[in-house]
Structure 1
């Protein structure tokens, strides 16, 4: 199938090609592990060393009762990294370019 140019508004960016995504693998435990495995390895590499050093230090200084903060931070960072990678795979553009297409009122002030 020949890729088609996108007709949507991309702001100041040039239009990109749209093509069909491949069909997913049939669901099984082996296919799930094959799909999650490389992503988990990339995710661990994407998470900086700061979490590995500061997290245990914070728990030692303040006790195990704050361990939920580290767990929540890990989960949220994992979701953010996964969605950033998915956006890049699907569109071919980095996440920063995608955020430039969002109306200014929708982008968080901290960004």
Structure 2
């Protein structure tokens, strides 16, 4: 299995807020060594590798993860907790979010978009 993380770098050169949070969670949980590569979607460079991968998979939020399984199958995770639960912790698919939880996420304005 190969895991690619795509994170966003803002015009000021800083990682996006959500990307910083996810990076800290990966470090704290000891999961960072399992990430094979990190690509950057840099606001200062629309041709950066991260933007190209985001376009390839139709993703418009950061960070996200692309998991290539040994059998060639690929999965894209835009929700860190699902990625953590299913891939890093190996517990299978996470339970589906309730409609109420999804509505709450839709109302939040503190989530970073690509």
* Shorter-chain TM-score tier: under 0.3
- TM-score, normalised to structure 1, is 0.26
Query: Between Structure 1 and Structure 2, whose CA radius of gyration is higher?
Result: 1
Could you say which structure has the higher strand fraction? 2
- TM-score, normalised to structure 2, is 0.26
Could you say which structure has the higher helix fraction? 1
